[in-house]
Chains A and B, each alone.
Chain A
């Protein structure tokens, strides 16, 4: 399984875009990138995932570099409720296992 590296913490001003980077330089061709977030001590919540192409949904956008060695999760207009720990995870196609790292603690500032 590919390993991911994320900065331990980031701040973002309310209303601004939050750009959370993730490095997955050992990713292989059949591995997907997933993003989850965990607010307080609740169970993690799925945000978005992708393989090669950029993806967008109602919560966020996922930008994956052409070489797939890194990705960025974008929250376009961060609110105080987006304060959470964000996890970037790589999952191989056809496998059931997720390996969570320690994530990025995002604090949205008023």
Chain B
């Protein structure tokens, strides 16, 4: 039982490049989330998916797109990376009865 996994762990992009961050969970959870965390700050919600086939914007969705590929996987895409998107990105899923969130280890992204 791996919980929530994220790939890659680290990534460096040049301004304007695109990339997709991958997230998968093996706990059969319906809802999944993407957050970003800037240095010294709390987590901010980018997008979430309450169930397979649905996605909704969070606090800071601009510059990102998401895909809920199936119940297990929820990906985050940066179409044209900007230095302001340098951050640590966390994926999470939620246990339905108590809404506890389980987080992945994070992807550390630097945009130069």
Contact = CB atoms under 8 A, between A and B. Distances in A.
B98 A87 contact: no
Contact of B100 (A41, A43, A46): A46
B41 A41 contact: no
B45 interface: yes
A86 B30 CA distance: 26
Size band of the B side of the interface?
A: 20 to 34
Interface majority SS on B: helix, strand, loop or mixed? strand
A96 B44 contact: no
A102 interface: yes
A44 interface: yes
Given A46-B101, A98-B45, A102-B41, 19 more contacts: A32-B99, A34-B99, A34-B100, A41-B108, A42-B105, A43-B4, A43-B92, A43-B103, A43-B106, A44-B43, A46-B102, A49-B99, A87-B42, A87-B43, A91-B99, A96-B50, A96-B94, A99-B45, A100-B45
A57 B70 CA distance: 34
A96 B31 CA distance: 8
28 contacts: A32-B99, A34-B99, A36-B101, A41-B108, A42-B103, A42-B106, A43-B4, A43-B90, A43-B106, A44-B90, A44-B101, A44-B103, A46-B100, A46-B101, A49-B98, A49-B99, A87-B43, A96-B33, A96-B48, A96-B99, A97-B45, A97-B48, A98-B45, A99-B45, A100-B42, A100-B43, A101-B42, A102-B41
Contacts of A45: 103
Interface residues of A, number: 20
Interface in B5-19: none
Interface of A: 32, 34, 36, 41-46, 49, 87, 91, 96-103
A89 to B, nearest CB: 9
